[in-house]
Amino acid sequence: MARKNVSLKDIAEKLELSISTVSRALKDHPDISVDVKTRVNELARRWNYFSAKDSNNKKNNTTKTIGVVVPNMEKNFYASIISGIEGYAKKEGYFIIIANSRENYETEKECIKNLLKLNVEGLIVCLTQETRDFSHFDIMLSNTIPLVFFDRVCRTNEFSSVIADNADAAKELTLHLFDSGAENIAHITGPKKLYITNERIAGYISALQERNVSYNEANVVHCDLTPTGATKAVYKLLNNKPIPDAIFCMNDTIAYVVMKEIKRHGFKIPEDIAVTGFNNEFHSTIVEPTLTTVLHPTIEFGEETARLLLDQINSENKLAPRQVVMKTKLVVRESSEKQ
């Protein structure tokens, strides 16, 4: 189990070694045996040991840098949020260092470790799809290093976060599909344990309840948010009986794949099957038909995330965690207008 405020003395006493031996082992000193180095580093990792020298030494040597960890830098969604973070940070005299976790839990942990070694004064993190264990964030608490999550969040009782109004947006989008003439609406969503997945499913179900439509489990398909996963998901829906006459997709990228597959199977959009996305990426305006989606205020999202972090960095007292919910906007285009 991880401990807070671990010292070299704690590790030395546990392993029955001298403090100097522990210190040299952590520095990979050649005089220390491989066995001792392994034991020391393993315990340091488990206890989330973080040396004072490497920690956030604001009083003596501020670096004016913050670290940003995103799960996929290739997506416009994250690039736009990063732009908002960078713009606000620069205005306040800070620079950002970006790390790409590539939707991989182990890479996420490595990114955080490496950013802390660079003496960043705080971290902004969006979790990977794989992240289920959040203990690697204990080090932030034990060393009082500010951390703010965005979009995919955890431990909101301990850390600040910025999210979109996912449930409300999903409900509004689903109601729009009903109002446009759809009767059998399906939802291609994300991995089951993602917070935003559950929020959007909740909004979708709320809309069904408001229109007195029974929930059909076969109409909700989870995917890993890759093109391959989206292809499998839409294929599954097209084999439902009856086939859905509208599909609400987790994001715009999924929607583009869905639209391609629907056309390939000989269906028309939106006459046979309406399609909607989420995030309002640039390509939603140039696909055929243009895509109905949800405008995610990504620049403002990034600015608010940076503001929360810098408030913590510049405060002389520890601030209580804050959870900010950003409003979205439904953008209606050709892909959903059945009537």
Write the CA distances from 310 to 161, 246, 284, 304, integer angstroms: 13, 43, 33, 10
* Contact predicate 76/281, CB 8 Å: yes
Tens digit of each residue's pLDDT (9 = 90 or more) over 207-233: 999 999 999 999 999 999 999 999 999
Highest mean pLDDT among 2-16, 38-52, 138-152: 138-152
What is the tens place of the pLDDT at every residue in 243-295? Answer: 999 999 999 999 999 999 999 999 999 999 999 999 999 899 999 999 999 99
pLDDT digits (tens, 9 = 90+) for 319-337: 999 999 999 999 999 999 8
3-class DSSP state of 246: strand
What's the pLDDT band for 22 if we cut at 50, 70, 90?
confident
DSSP 261-299: HHHHTT--TTTT-EEE-SB--GGGGTSSSPPBEEE--HH
Of all residues in the chain, the percent with pLDDT exceeding 70 is: 94
Residue 151 region by backbone torsions, left for phi larger than 0, else alpha for psi between -120 and 50, else beta: left
Name which of 40-49, 124-133, 149-158 the model is least confident about: 40-49
Query: Which pLDDT belongs to residue 53?
Result: 47
pLDDT at residue 59, rounded to an integer: 44
The pLDDT of residue 161 is 97
Beta carbons within 8 Å of 255's beta carbon, 6+ residues apart: 249, 275, 276, 277, 278, 284, 291, 293, 335
Cα four-point dihedral sign 277, 282, 288, 294: positive
- 102-117 pLDDT, tens digit per residue, is 999 999 999 999 999 8
- Please give the residue that has the higher pLDDT: either 272 or 47: 272
Beta bridge partners of 100: 70
The pLDDT, as a whole number, for residue 25 is 87
Mean pLDDT taken over the chain: 91
- In the prediction, which pLDDT does 49 show? 75
Q: What is the mean pLDDT of residues 310-314?
A: 94
- Residue 148 pLDDT more than 50? yes
The pLDDT of residue 51 is above 70: no
